[in-house]
Structure 1
């Protein structure tokens, strides 16, 4: 019996050692895989907007761009978090040209107010990073009668980008950067009602599907907008930040398991902002538009977009759902 117990203990320790080695090996692989931006571009005189920048990927993106001398505006819903983030960025970069404006993507009224203030107070916008995102909301609707995940992740950025078009055109060379996700591969977007709630039998699967749908819409939007802006001074690209240790899935069940997976296998938040920074600063993508990037490398859009007919449908329905008037639609021309 003693020998048997000793054998069990031995194999338990062996398994523990194997798991530790596996985790360490994976972390080393991630470190080696992550492509550095290799961009030492300074952004003096540039105006940058980063949404959802009070924490997570958005915060570290804003921090890096502030280090490069840009005027950085944080678009945040949480005012206390925004104030703290601005103070931290100024302290760490000694760049006093960092500020925030309230931006609640759950409210079209808030988005319109934000865009109006930017258009009135800023000479131009050089970089717009649509970073803010949420996940895990069910059938809860915003004040605009749209599902929360879809509005924050897609309809809100769609409206914001369209309303800021005048300010973007005032830049000599502007860049729009849309944070999407590989989760878009799991999307199923209804052709005749893109804002519909998924019909997955299990609600948590529906919540994940909503997130995937919102990110695929963002990729379609990126492709369509690039085509419509062809010949202008504005580029637009989307990106997958990678598996990152953020709290975006905090509303889903099995939180202990999710936290273990993210802490063990995912990149740090600092590592997750690399591609956003690359697209905002690198000369390599100066004239690249309508593309999808992962790890600072272009990937094939066909991996995500399986039905190109949806592109125009999503565009037209989006304009209707965010209630663009004729003048606002014409800003893109």
Structure 2
């Protein structure tokens, strides 16, 4: 064996060893989910639940006996998801309704149907999200990442708030991201559209900004809902193997990294399930969670003035009527 071959083999073995060690390290840091709450009689709504962590969350809550309603954009995928969840959980009380977060009209139609047919909502999980879709506008004229990840959930929550008040210790759970740490946002660039958006860094910044908005939304909403019995919390699910960044450049490279180091959807859903089911959360509201534990808010999410400005601008962007506002 010559020196070149020896060093090549040694290098490959070293890389494999480091990869295995890192993989084990990340796996061992994931906390097991230890909640055994029965959800019979509870009504749950999960957006974007036909795939990824939303789908896994739906399976778990259905197994606990909840009535689960999936809010999904693609009807064919939604039907398949409902069929599989019912088959796996033996819970026939699982259904879907069309919800396209790129359209405020769709959000309003979804909420209207829920308000008409449901007496209460016990758990609302604002889970759906996109990343890497680039510089696109929705039919409402908003930056797509902002509207899908944040504005439509902001609107949906407002429209369903009365049904949540009818629930018993209802919970609103917003799925954010650690990327919110790296947001660069102010009210002027909240809904920005740029012709010169960087294909990678620009898209990540738009994603980070939308996820920071979700955190501020949670903080302020929790304050506004004090005394109603509703708790509102936000979470970082971890880096998860989902298709959220499927449209970003270098997708193959991102997929390789995610397969090696990221959580599975089952692992990524644990904090969402924890917040939906743990008795410890009955009186905790307006907090940030990661790995089934409460953590400090990121530095980017500690500006109360910015949070209030984002809230007010959001009311404007989603065209909230006076009687739809939460005071």
TM score, norm. by length of structure 1? 0.95
Map of 2:259 onto structure 1: 263
Q: Tell me whether 1:144 sits opposite 2:140 in the alignment.
A: yes
Tell me which residue corresponds to 2:90. Answer: 94
- Superposed, 1:40-55 pairs within 5 Å as 40-55=36-51
Q: Which residue of the partner structure matches residue 322 of structure 1?
A: 318
The within-5 A match list for 1:166-205 is 166-197=162-193, 202-205=198-201
- The aligned runs of 1:5-20 (5 Å cut-off) are 6-20=2-16
1:312 is aligned to 2:290: no
1:108 aligns with 2:129: no
| Deviation for aligned residue 1:302 | 4.1
User: Aligned match of 2:222 in 212, 217, 226?
Assistant: 226
Stretch of structure 1 that moved more, 157-166 or 134-143: 134-143
SS in 2 for 1:53: coil
Match of 1:127 in 2: 123
- Find the counterpart in structure 2 of residue 158 from structure 1: 154
The aligned length equals: 327
Please tell me whether the aligned partners of residues 54 and 127 of structure 2 are also in contact (alpha carbons under 8 angstroms). yes
- Is the alpha carbon distance of 1:303 and 1:35 closer, same or farther for their aligned partners in structure 2, counting shifts above 3 Å? farther
**2:134 is paired with a residue of what secondary structure?**
coil
Q: Take 2:197 and 2:80, find their aligned partners in 1: how far apart are those partners?
A: 42
Q: CA deviation at 1:22?
A: 1.7
Distance of 2:196 and 2:14 partners within structure 1 = 38
Q: 1:286 to 1:200 in 2, by over 3 A?
A: farther
- 1:7 and 1:284 mapped to 2: Cα distance? 60
Indicate the SS of the match to 1:83: helix
TM superposition shift of 1:191: 2.9
The aligned residue for residue 55 of structure 2 is 59
- For 1:294, the equivalent position in structure 2 comes to 290
**What CA distance in whole angstroms lies between the structure 1 residues aligned with 2:176 and 2:285?**
15
Unmatched runs of 5 consecutive residues or more in structure 1: none
**C-alpha RMSD of matched pairs (Å):** 1.4
Corresponding residue of 2:66: 70
Give 1:200 shift: 7.4
Q: What is the match of residue 85 of structure 1?
A: 81
* Structure 2: runs of 5+ lacking an equivalent: none
Contact preservation (8 Å) 1:63, 1:89:
yes
How many Å separate the matches in 2 of 1:200 and 1:311? 27
- CA distance in 2 between partners of 1:98 and 1:226 (Å): 29
**Separation in structure 1 between the aligned mates of residue 4 and residue 212 of structure 2, nearest angstrom:** 49
C-alpha separation in 1, matches of 2:127 and 2:298: 23
Change in Cα spacing, 1:266 to 1:198, as seen in structure 2 (3 Å) is farther
Distance across 2 between alignment mates of 1:180 and 1:193: 19
